[in-house]
A and B are shown apart, each in its own frame.
Chain A
């Protein structure tokens, strides 16, 4: 068995709001095998970004509760101080490409000067040394050197995305979290970025968490896929099984709603609305929309059960 670079156990992140706590990440268990990529898939608002923030401990001011274990390379990150997280983990070990990453470039600072920020802050580099590294880094993601001298608004969306990816890879982290790295791009640029990410994974032996709402993209790029629904993991397994042989009714619906070129199928849609994370339904969170819902589904939450090599949280697969 492969080593697991990251394991979360009962990870919880609730936000405080006037309506009550938002259960954005609700006892999430998942893992990333070393050198592999995990795609986290789910509808928008299901808590994917929150989970990424929880792993890196980038918390907003209105945290209601934040608990569980985040075991990274054998160390529970929850035991580290904020300062240790800042100086030892973030960017050195785990870096992140934010959702809407193009907006993570400061419009008034040249791209080069921004890319080198982590090096200046963490590694105590001189500016010239850092810029030399940055030149390498942008080449690595297929960008011409001159982008370093440009302001963000002078670059195209795809170029900005590559620049941000270069910045995430700059300190050679073990794990990179990419939050919807392609969702704001046109299809062609999206494909280019996808190829770049695949390529980088081979070359740099990186582990990825790749967040997307696009299941087809996920199974294309990732070794493993975790399907998230309403702050919880619905199913986690190899990309192959998730795509070809989905077990969880939600995953099945999700696949049914993906248009394909090859087969003439009738597109399905998932009836009902995603649940409110302040007052999630009792029992299985999907039961109001699930065609197979049983009695127990309304009363008790299904645990994550192992089926063959995969895991699924659904009463249909036993565990009573």
Chain B
């Protein structure tokens, strides 16, 4: 004869930990919890706001792959080089009442591939009329390209070297002067970093990357002394542990943030619905056939209605947040499978001696229900709860994927939805899809393993190995 199945909640958790599946589950879920707990160290308090404020991500490269891709491909893919004002050396000259302030910075470029994008920025605090600015780019081979020559006014000015047609014209002129031909497509980040800017068609090959010391100069010409903060960003092709998306957002932060959202949503939904279902199912069976009949018919109804389409409908009509979504999920699951389980177990418990005894010493029906019956049922729902967590995570992910989820919170589903609408997979931005999808799968795996572990302990049929 084996030992009887454990009935206390603590006991079940303890036993679950002893099984291999339980251990695996705890490791996976523990990792998720650690990820969630690490958030305060990684991201600012107002992260959710920042995630949605696309302008705030300008210093990150767009669509950069994860850094570790380097190790797999063996090519030294470029990382972002950010020359901020503190990298620039300042020299001043005064020529006949005019001031020429020159900001010079250099960087070494040793990567096997071209940058993804170039940007120059300058912040000035001049009052009154604009000043003249000259941006000069000097390559290791000594070639000098005048990227910009014109007026800038006070405040921040951004030069999108890779996109701005005015700047591209300057670069085209450089190519023309060198080779006598004008390139059809002008990609400054390639031309400026290529050994032979002439053969544009082939020069995208990484063997053509010109390695060495590059110099960037900002020259400001004005009639009084000014101060300026120049900046030059050479965007890389890899970034961070999880890469970036089209909007330059650091996907790792999004994935980290997705963990607590998914865990909280999944577990709260699963536990709340299980509790409600058990209480209602048990109460029906406990208070007599009429209530039982009512509860069971409602349960049947809720079991056949398709929840996902209804939730889609609701989120199309009302804009949902994660909390209102949670509310709707609970509304549509107040009764269900666990009510049926609770009912059948209640019928068994009703005949138990300790219920008879409790009646004798005068416990009221409600007290018996909550103190004796429901705690007995809960362990039987553990496996189901654990199995339901990923179901609810999938549900949230599906809605977010369709763009119907919470519009604020970064969730894995939403990241996947963004990736899908940007055509990430066709374009080869696999990291944008695989990592969040992997996280969803991992958390599902964790809870499924946990469910198996619980099932083995609570279900006497599975106990007998």
Contacts and interface: CB of A to CB of B under 8 A. Distances in A.
The reply to whether chain A is a binding partner of chain B is yes
Interface of A: 56, 58, 86-87, 90-91, 95-96, 98, 100-101, 103-109, 117-118, 121-122, 151, 153, 167
Given A96-B360, A106-B354, 4 more contacts: A98-B356, A106-B372, A109-B371, A122-B362
A121 B365 CA distance: 12
Contact of A107 (B7, B356, B358, B367): B7
A108 to B, nearest CB: 5
Contacts of B372: 106, 109
Closest 3 CB pairs of A and B: A104-B357, A103-B353, A118-B361
A118 B357 CA distance: 10
A86 B364 CA distance: 9
Contacts of B352: 103
Contacts of B165: none
Question: Size range of the interface on B?
Answer: 20 to 34
A117 B4 CA distance: 25
Contacts of A151: 8
Most chain A CB neighbours (cut-off 10 Å) among B4, B364, B371: B371
Contacts of A90: 360-362
Most chain B CB neighbours (cut-off 10 Å) among A87, A91, A108, A121: A108
B362 A87 contact: yes
11 contacts: A58-B359, A90-B361, A91-B362, A95-B361, A103-B352, A104-B353, A106-B354, A107-B4, A109-B371, A117-B361, A167-B361
A243 to B, nearest CB: 31
B8 A118 contact: no
- The majority secondary structure among interface residues of chain B is helix
Contact of A121 (B356, B357, B362): B362
A153 B362 contact: no
B376 interface: yes
A96 B360 CA distance: 8
Interface in B314-365: 352-354, 356-364
Contact of B4 (A58, A153, A167): A153
B212 interface: no
A117 B359 CA distance: 11
Nearest to B378: A108
B375 interface: yes
Interface in B1-42: 4, 7-8
B376 A91 contact: no
B132 to A, nearest CB: 83
